[in-house]
Every structure is written in structure tokens, then in C-alpha cells.
Amino acid sequence: MEHTNDKRRFTRHTHQQVAQTWSTEFGENVELAASVPPALSALGMGQVATYLEAHPEYLVTALKHSDWTIRAAAVRTEGKRGTSFEPLLNALHDENASVRAAAARALGIRAKDAPVEPLVEALQDREWRVRTAAVTALGRLKKRTPIEPLLPVLHDENASVRAAAVWALGTLGERAPMDSLVIALQDKAWAVREAAAMALHEQGERAPVGHLLAARWDEDSSVRDAVDNTLGQRFEEQEGMKILPSETGWLSLPWLRLALSVFSVYILIPLTSIITNNTYIGRFALISEVAATVVVCIAIALINILYQRKPDARLSPQKYASRKKGIPSWHSVVLAGISVFTLLQIATSLLQINFAYDPVMTTDVVHFILIGRLVALGLMAATVIVINMVFFTKR
């Protein structure tokens, strides 16, 4: 039965009572606790624990003591001594949550041969402290850690329990359920998201870079730091490697990206003919043609930026990947070659002076047409440069 102690306030008054009881029962002048903050006694720490470590002969009595702070300290000490599992397993059913949590933690300390089943049962405890301790202890079992019971814990109502579950699953290496870790990056609690970023660090190459990069924009600074640490570590350790495109990225195949870029450059040639082939019918018409060219150029540039976008586009390549400067890939060279060729073709047709439009064409009009064409040429050149930059920097 859950005792009301679970909700008891851990006041200094309680500590003084403990001190009094302790002194009376053991006849020792133990200066306990008036100055020990309750945050220590709740975890079985403080002077009671120190005393028991020095006097293990009192452990058996202390494990049965009526005061839970003494029982918690005794369980903690017993766990460290590592003599028997029995007191710890009994303590897992103690009426007080702090004692049960101390028992779960003690089993985690003795992870080598600690029994799994009682810890799995403790995952159903009503107190978050006990569930967190049980999850953490299960995570310490490493090869013996059971995955199935930990998966539902990822949806626990308490953030500490969820974070501990993410950590425990993260320690499992290849057995770790990657999808669950990635989903945890979206958890509403920063502690869980931070734990997920750290857990993905332990996955090495298996961790999806794209999701980590997206998490670099997390609203919480601790999460961002953990993600940066994971990404930084990974790419520092792989000198010379560039960031791999995410499987979910747009146009992840290089040849498909090249095809889009080449098509984008080539489509500018028919666009040129709009300006060069039409008969001059007035200034407004030419201005409209140049404006249309502006719209088409922007559209082409945007299509390239958006469709060649990958999650890794947010990562500064200089920071995380060592790039071989000056040695572009053959794809980039092909695109650059095609771009130069196309631009030359466009320039030739735009700047060719064959104005046989109208016999009454004046010098002013010719100059106006030339300026319009130069503007169009500038726009197309800028578009080609953008296409090349997008292709080069986002490879």
C-alpha cells in the first residue's frame, strides 16, 4: 500500500526527527541532518548514508527502520556493498517511493548480474522517480537490456522518465530503435529532446544527419548544444568527408540534380528569342519583355534553390565537413562548361546588331533596345550563376 509518506514534505523538521530516532535507537551521538537539505535524503544520501557506510553492522536494522530516510540510505549503501540482491528486491516493494527508487538505482549499480524482471515491473510504478530509476537501471544492463518494455515508456507522462528511456535505448547500439530516437527529437520537453540528440550521437553513422540538422534550430539552447556536439563530433572524426544527403531530401541523386541544373540553364536560350525575334513595336513592349525575363529568371533560380534543397543545406560546410577546395566534382565542371557555352550563345544573339525592324528606327530607339537587352543579359547571367552556386554548394 502506498503510504502517505510519498507525498510528505521533506522538511528540516523531519530530519531532526530522524536524527533523534537514530540516536535513540543506536545509542550513537550522530549529528544528523539539521543542515542536510531534503534533496539529499530523498535520494538516500546525506549523513545517514555516510554513517551506514562506516558502520555496515547497522545495515540490517536500518533496512527495517520505520523512517523512510534511513531505509533509503540503507538501500543505497547496501547497493554499493553488493553483498546480496534480496534486500534490494524487497525494497522495490517498499511503501515509500524514495526507498523504491533507491532500490532500482542500486540494482542499476550492480548491472552485471542484476535481475531484469523486477526492474521491468518497476516501470509500472506510480511514482515517476521510481520509473526513472528503473529505466536508467535497465539501460545499464547493456546487452541484457530488454527493448520491448522500454518502448511504451517513451510515452510516459513524465519528461524525466521519457528522457531516461531515450537514453537507455540509445545505449543499445545497433539494437536501438532509430525511429523512436528520431521521434524523441520532437518531444515537447527539452530534456527528452536533449537526451535524443545525445542518444543519436551514440549511433554513429546510423544517425540520420537530416533530422539532427533540423534539430539545430530547436528553441532550447541545451538541445541545440547537444545536437551541435553530436554533429561536430561526427564530422570532426571523419576528416575529408562531406555531409551525406538525407534519404528524405529532394533530388538526392546527383545526376538528377545535374539534369535539373542543365535544363535550367538551357531554357534561357528560348527565353532570349522572346526579346531578339520580336519586332520592335514600342518601348513599353520591350520593358514588358524584360520584366517577363525577370520573372522567369527568378522562377528558375527559386526552383533550383527549392528542389535542390536538402536538410544539410543548413549546415555550414566549412564548419563540419572538410571540403576539397579548388577541386570541384566533374558534375560541377560539366555544369559550369554548359553554363559558359549557353551564356556565350545568349550574349551573341542579344548583342547582335541586326535591327531591321523598322525603317524609321532612330538612334535613341536603338540605344534603348541595346540597354534593354543588356539588362536581360545581366539577369540571365545572374540566374546562371545562382544555378551553379546552388549546385556546387548543396552537393
Partner 1 sequence: MDLDRQEYAYLTADQVDGYYEQLVAKYWQQLHSFIQRRTSNQQDAEDIVQEAFVHAYYALERYPLQQIRTLQARPWLYKITWNVYRNYMSRTKPPLALSLDDHDSDLLLELDDEYEERPDAIFERVERRRELESLVNELPEQYREVINLYYFDELSQQEIADLLNRPLGTIKTHVYRGLRMLRKALQMNEGRSIR
Binding site for partner 1 (CB under 8 A): 9-11, 37-40, 42-43, 45, 80, 105, 109, 129, 132-133, 136, 139, 159-160, 163-164, 167, 171, 173-174, 189-191, 195, 198, 201-206, 219-222, 226, 229, 233-234, 237
Cα–Cα distances in Å, from 74 out to 1, 135, 254? 21, 21, 63
Which three cell numbers mark 22? 537514530
Would you give the end-to-end CA distance of the chain in angstroms?
Answer: 62
Nearest to 222 by CA among 196, 240, 203: 196
CA separation for the pair 17, 26 (Å, rounded): 14
CB of 159 to partner 1, least distance (A): 8
Closest among 201, 181, 178 to 192, alpha carbons compared: 181
In this complex, which beta carbon is closest to partner 1, that of residue 10 or of residue 250?
10
What would the grid cell of residue 69 be?
A: 530516510
- Which residue has 553492522 as its cell numbers? 57
Nearer CB in complex with partner 1: 124/221: 221
Q: How far is the CB of 188 from partner 1 (least distance, A)?
A: 11
Take residue 286 and report the three cell numbers written for it. 520591350
Nearer to partner 1, 198 or 271 (CB): 198
Q: What angle do CA 215, 219, 225 make, to 5 degrees?
A: 60
CB 169 within 8 A of CB 176: yes
Nearest CA to 300 among 240, 385, 187, 227? 385
Query: Within a 13 Å sphere around the CA of 92, how many CA atoms are in the beta-carbon half?
Result: 26
Is the Cβ of residue 146 or residue 254 nearer to partner 1 in the bound state?
Answer: 146
Shortest reach from residue 376's CB to partner 1, in Å? 41
- Least distance CB 390 / partner 1 (angstroms): 29
Q: Which is nearer to partner 1, 9 or 325 (CB)?
A: 9
State in angstroms the smallest separation of the CB of 71 from partner 1.
17
Minimum distance, C-beta of residue 93 to partner 1, in the bound complex (Å):
21
CA 231, 234, 240, 244 torsion-angle sign: negative
Query: Which residues, at least 6 apart from 39, have a Cβ–Cβ distance to it below 8 Å?
Result: 10
Give helix 190-201 / helix 221-236 axis angle, nearest 10°.
10
State in angstroms the smallest separation of the CB of 281 from partner 1.
53
**Cβ closest to partner 1, residue 197 vs residue 286:** 197
Cβ closer to partner 1: 145 or 304? 145
Which amino acid is it at 335? L
Judged by beta carbon, residue 171 or residue 276, the one nearer partner 1 is 171
Taking the complex as a whole, the smallest distance from the CB of residue 122 to partner 1 amounts, in Å, to 14
CB 170 within 8 A of CB 198: yes
